[in-house]
Amino acid sequence: MKLLDGIKLSNEIKIDIKRQVQALKKHDITPGLAVIIVGDDTASMTYVNMKSKACDTVGIYSIVHKMPANINEQKIIDTINMMNNNDNIDGILVQLPLPNNIDESKVIQAINPQKDVDGFHPFNIGSISLKLDGFIPATPYGVIKLLKQYKIELKGKNVCIVGASNIVGKPLMSLFLNEYATVQICHIYTKNLKQHTLNADILCVAVGKINLITSDMIKEDVIVVDIGINKNEQGKLVGDVDFDDVSKKCEYISPVPGGVGPMTIAMLLDNTIKSAKKRKKDE
CB of 134 to ligand NAD, least distance (A): 19
Q: Residue 120: name the closest of 144, 98, 138, 133 by CA.
A: 138
Return the number of the residue (32 or 259) whose C-beta is nearest ligand NAD: 259
Our answer to whether residue 234 is catalytic in this structure is no
CB nearer to ligand NAD: pick between 138 and 154: 138
Whose Cβ is closer to ligand NAD: residue 6's or residue 79's? 6
Q: At closest approach, how far in Å is the CB of 220 from ligand NAD?
A: 23
194 is catalytic: no
> Where on the chain is the footprint of ligand NAD (CB under 6 A)?
139, 162-165, 167-169, 186-188, 190, 193, 206-209, 212, 227-230, 260-261, 264
Q: In angstroms, rounded to a whole number, what is the distance separating the alpha carbons of residues 88 and 29?
A: 8
- Measured from the CB atom, the residue of 206 and 222 that comes closer to ligand NAD is 206
Q: How far is the CB of 22 from ligand NAD (least distance, A)?
A: 27
What's the closest the beta carbon of residue 255 comes to ligand NAD, in angstroms? 11
Active site residue 184: no
Q: Which of 118, 226, 240, 270 is catalytic?
A: 118
Rounded to a whole number, what is the distance in angstroms from the first to the last CA of the chain?
49
Of 114 and 177, which CB lies nearer to ligand NAD in the complex structure?
A: 177
Active-site pick, 51, 115, 157, 274: 51
CB of 257 to ligand NAD, least distance (A): 9
Catalytic residue among 20, 95, 201, 270: 95
| Residues annotated catalytic, as ranges | 51, 95, 118
